[in-house]
Amino acid sequence: MGYVAVTGGRTAIENANKLVHSYRLKDAERAIEVKEIESQMRLLVDRVMGEGGLYAPEYAALALKQTEGDVHEAAFLLRAYRSTLPRNHYSMITDPGEMRGIRRISSSFKDIPGGQVLGPTYDYTHRLLNFDLRNESGAVEQFLEDFALELDTEMDTPSFPKVMDLLREQGLVANRKIDEVEPFDITREKLAFPAPRSARLQLLSRGETGAMTALAYSSMRGYGAVHPTIGELRVGYSEVHIPYPFADEEEDSIYIGELKLTEVETVNSFTQNNQGDVEFMLGYGLTFGQNEVKAIAMAILERSLETQGQSPTQDEEFVLLHIDSVEAQGFVSHLKLPHYITFQSMLDRIRQAQKESKVETGSKG
Amino acid sequence: MSIQLEREYNYAFLDEGSKKEIRRSTLKAVAIPGYQVPFASREMPIGRGWGTGGLQLTLSLIGDEDSLKVIDQGHDDSVNAVSIKRLVESCSNVTTTDDSEHATVIQTRHRVPEIPLRDDQILVLQVPLPEPLRRTEAKEKVTKRLHAEMDYSSIWLRLYEDIVKWKKITIGADYPSMVHHRYIINPSPIPRYDVPKLHQAEGLYLFGAGREKKIYAIPPYTDVEPLEFLDYSFEVENFEHFTCHLCGCTDSFLDEIYDAKTGEKIYQCSDTGYCNTRQREREAL
């Protein structure tokens, strides 16, 4: 019997699952612990949480283990898991200005109140493979012990005033009124265009790092208008509170934990000011975890979308609908699904059209 | 964290609030045939663009009493259909079936079953690109307005240009059709052969686009007309002179397949459930 359309689906899937399991472990000396991923693949975990839109370091680490480190797949697992959870609370406003900072820099000013704090960054490392890391056993315990002692004595948890407030006080930055409108919730409503700013920011905040970096880069390089200065980039921990359900006063709240966040505020040329005021324009980026390139890209794209023009990054549908990791990855890879029927339909059209064109050439000749 | 939940996932995967919201959007879609109702599509545990819209409709509709059939390319045992069935089975008590007459809900990709739907059945179609006007206009903001104003000139022009250039309308599957004289829809990438089945049908057709976050519907007894000109009429796929080599059917939609050894071209029914029933009937004779 000849070829039969992909069939025996159930067995095929079961076998594929077995193979995935086997490929994940077949060359392993021991299975990697979720905890190890969580503690040692910190930036990867942060990225997955950011793109998955779920702040859960342990689950992000589990997702990475399960997907053998595929970032798209891992973010996707978190998103899908989110779909099973009811929305119980909306938090109070979290102010990253009050965060417990671990890193904070400004490219606009040399001296800033509170000082520049380089913190944990690869920015000034030499990108040389460190072969010592191939075997860290023994030494690592010693190092950590020493380091912990050092940390304990000197560790303070500073919170810094915002650099942008300096400019704001001088009337150099648009000091817009605080918008008290209830934010749009992209997980509970379908986005309509033009999109409210709150929706734009949410979409950018969980956008795919690579896609956003590429688009922001295009805007800086020549396909757009935005080439900002970083007023401030900060990484740290912000407390999250939810309203106390039996509160007498509106401000009563319960502390439920803290989020590691990266926040970027950029300063942009005043010539981009739509209102015609001579004021710097602010660009804003915020992501889960430490993901600096994404936060900067977000600030660029967010600002770019506020400007008018023909470049791709000034088109909100183009930017917002194509930076989502789950959607882009899903639709591009759906081409792997069978398309026998649509292809048959196309075959029918080309055969009929060929027939027509042959009739035509025939009649001419 | 080591909290042990009684059941890891809710019945039919989504939380109850989400399912209710999807049903509400579905009701609106039924009330306005062909209108694309926006909804806050959830991320599902299968690929985005692999049937998540259909899956959300199915999960929001089914209960213990239901019997679910899932097909892909008309095929019950196609990998993606199996994957979706397994997911529904794993998070609900719904039974699945290959028999389209026994099913209460049928989820499908790219085909409408050969046996017409009854009035107690729902066909859920997976939709990759719900917007028929996307062929001529990239922006959602614009297409939304064109629908509101019933301004369909661009799609008619597209068909006209096809004829000028190729002497044929070149759209294969997903043929744009007018629903009850008001909204043009993409019927999802079903072949043109299947489009007439949507017209004045007994059953309910629901269309779910997960990635694009739209639900639309063709309720029973709705007029559905594929776009055509008086002098260039709508044409379905041509299977004249071909028969299914398994069941001998001469009027079903056929898959064109090539024998792995001889390279010979043969045809067989794309609707495997239908074909199997016919084969059994033939043997019984």
Q: Read out DSSP for A117-145?
A: B--S-STTS-----GGGG--TTHHHHHHH
Q: Does residue A175 carry a pLDDT above 80?
A: no
Alpha carbon B237 to chain centroid distance? 17
What is the structure's pLDDT at A361? Answer: 75
Same domain, A267 and A323: yes
For the full predicted model, state whether its pTM sits above 0.80. Answer: yes
Same domain, A290 and A211: yes
* Closest A-chain CA to B110: A341
Q: Best interface-test mutation with A: which of B20, B79, B89, B244 has the largest number of A CBs within 10 A?
A: B79
Q: Does residue A49 carry a pLDDT above 60?
A: yes
Give mean pLDDT, residues A50-68.
97
Give mean pLDDT, residues A283-289.
96
B226 touches chain A (CB under 8 A): no
Task: For residue A131, tell me if it sits in a domain.
Answer: no
C-alpha–C-alpha distance, residues B209 and A323, integer Å:
18
C-alpha–C-alpha distance, residues A345 and B109, integer Å:
15
Q: Which of A147-156, B48-57, B223-232 has the lowest mean pLDDT?
A: A147-156
Same domain, A210 and A187: yes
Q: Does residue B28 carry a pLDDT above 90?
A: yes
Q: Does residue B92 carry a pLDDT above 80?
A: yes
Is ipTM over 0.90? no
Listed residue (B51, B46, B53, B44) closest to B14, CA to CA: B44
Give mean pLDDT, residues B61-87.
93
Segment A352-356 long-range contacts (CB within 8 Å, at least 24 positions apart)? A352/B168, A352/B235, A352/B238, A353/B166, A353/B167, A353/B168, A353/B170, A356/B166, A356/B167, A356/B168
What is the structure's pLDDT at A5? Answer: 44
Same domain, A55 and A103: no
Q: Which of A249-253, A274-278, A312-316, B48-52 has the lowest mean pLDDT?
A: A274-278
What is the structure's pLDDT at B27? Answer: 98
B13 touches chain A (CB under 8 A): yes
Mean pLDDT of chain B: 93
What is the structure's pLDDT at A315? Answer: 95
Is residue B269 part of the annotated active site? The answer reads yes
What is the structure's pLDDT at A3? Answer: 35
Q: Which of B24-38, B52-66, B73-87 has the lowest mean pLDDT?
A: B73-87
**Which band of pLDDT confidence, cut at 50, 70 and 90, is reported for residue A4?**
very low
Q: Does residue B264 carry a pLDDT above 50?
A: yes
Q: Does residue A147 carry a pLDDT above 50?
A: yes
CB contact under 8 A, B259 and A2: yes
Q: Tell me which of B203, B244, B249, B273 is the catalytic residue.
A: B244
Task: For residue A40, tell me if it sits in a domain.
Answer: yes
Percent of chain B's residues with pLDDT above 70: 98
Task: For residue A55, tell me if it sits in a domain.
Answer: yes
C-alpha–C-alpha distance, residues B154 and B159, integer Å:
9
Give mean pLDDT, residues B24-30.
98
C-alpha–C-alpha distance, residues A224 and A175, integer Å:
25
pLDDT tens digits, residue range B43-68?
999 989 899 999 999 999 999 999 99
Q: Does residue B4 carry a pLDDT above 70?
A: no
Listed by number, the residues of chain B in 94-133 with a beta carbon closer than 8 Å to a beta carbon of chain A are 109-111, 128
Please give the domain boundaries of chain B with CATH numbers for all domains: 16-130+174-226 (3.40.50.11310), 238-285 (no CATH)
**Which band of pLDDT confidence, cut at 50, 70 and 90, is reported for residue A152?**
low
Same domain, A312 and A272: yes
CB contact under 8 A, B18 and A82: no
Q: Does residue A338 carry a pLDDT above 70?
A: yes
DSSP state of B126: E
Is residue B249 part of the annotated active site? The answer reads no
Among the partner-chain residues A321, A331, A353, the one whose CB lies closest to the CB of B168 is A353
- Complete DSSP assignment for A23-64: HHHTT-SSPPPHHHHHHHSHHHHHHHHHHHT---HHHHHHHH
CB contact under 8 A, B257 and A3: yes
- Among candidate residues A82, A104, A132, the one where a domain is terminated: A82
The minimum CA-CA distance between B137 and chain A, rounded to whole Å, is 12
Task: For residue A14, tell me if it sits in a domain.
Answer: yes
Is residue B275 part of the annotated active site? The answer reads yes
What is the structure's pLDDT at A79? Answer: 95
Chain B residues within an 8 Å CB radius of A77: 45
Give mean pLDDT, residues B94-111.
94
Same domain, A167 and A260: yes
Q: Tell me which of B53, B247, B249, B273 is the catalytic residue.
A: B247
Same domain, A299 and A182: yes
Q: Does residue B217 carry a pLDDT above 80?
A: yes
Residue with token string 């810094």: A160
Task: Say if residues A82 and A107 touch (Cβ distance below 8 Å).
Answer: no
Give mean pLDDT, residues B96-115.
95
Listed by number, the residues of chain B in 33-52 with a beta carbon closer than 8 Å to a beta carbon of chain A are 38-45, 47-50, 52
Give mean pLDDT, residues B130-147.
94
Determine the 3-state secondary structure of B216 from DSSP: strand
Same domain, A165 and A289: yes
B172 touches chain A (CB under 8 A): yes
- A-B CB pairs within 8 A amount to 184
Chain B residues within an 8 Å CB radius of A186: 40
Tally of domains within chain A: 2
Same domain, A212 and A116: yes
**Which band of pLDDT confidence, cut at 50, 70 and 90, is reported for residue B152?**
very high
B72 touches chain A (CB under 8 A): yes
Chain A residues within an 8 Å CB radius of B81: 9
As beta bridge partners, residue A241 has A255
User: Domain range for residue A34?
Assistant: 9-82
Q: Does residue B131 carry a pLDDT above 60?
A: yes
Give mean pLDDT, residues A20-27.
92
What is the structure's pLDDT at A2? Answer: 36
Pairing of strands B95-96, B67-72: parallel
C-alpha–C-alpha distance, residues B29 and B206, integer Å:
8
Same domain, A290 and A255: yes
Structure tokens at B68: 């679910």
Listed by number, the residues of chain B in 176-215 with a beta carbon closer than 8 Å to a beta carbon of chain A are 189-192, 211, 213-214
Chain B residues within an 8 Å CB radius of A327: 48-49, 211
The minimum CA-CA distance between B202 and chain A, rounded to whole Å, is 24
Same domain, A68 and A165: no
Give mean pLDDT, residues B109-130.
96
Task: For residue A30, tell me if it sits in a domain.
Answer: yes
Q: Does residue A280 carry a pLDDT above 60?
A: yes
Listed residue (A333, A339, A259, A295) closest to A73, CA to CA: A333
What is the structure's pLDDT at A7? Answer: 62
CB contact under 8 A, A10 and B82: yes
What is the structure's pLDDT at B2? Answer: 41
Is residue B244 part of the annotated active site? The answer reads yes
Same domain, A254 and A192: yes
* Closest A-chain CA to B47: A330
Q: Which of A45-54, A154-163, B207-216 has the lowest mean pLDDT?
A: A154-163
Instruction: Look at chain A and count its residues.
Output: 365
The minimum CA-CA distance between A82 and chain B, rounded to whole Å, is 8
Q: Does residue A301 carry a pLDDT above 90?
A: yes
CB contact under 8 A, A13 and B83: yes
Determine the 3-state secondary structure of A188 from DSSP: coil
Q: Does residue A107 carry a pLDDT above 80?
A: yes
Q: Best interface-test mutation with B: which of A11, A341, A358, A360 has the largest number of B CBs within 10 A?
A: A341
Task: For residue A363, tell me if it sits in a domain.
Answer: no
What is the structure's pLDDT at A365? Answer: 43
Give mean pLDDT, residues A318-340.
94
Task: For residue A249, tell me if it sits in a domain.
Answer: yes
Listed residue (A25, A289, A345, A204) closest to B169, CA to CA: A345
What is the structure's pLDDT at B1? Answer: 38
* Closest A-chain CA to B263: A2
Q: Does residue A58 carry a pLDDT above 50?
A: yes
Task: For residue A48, tell me if it sits in a domain.
Answer: yes
What is the structure's pLDDT at B3? Answer: 46
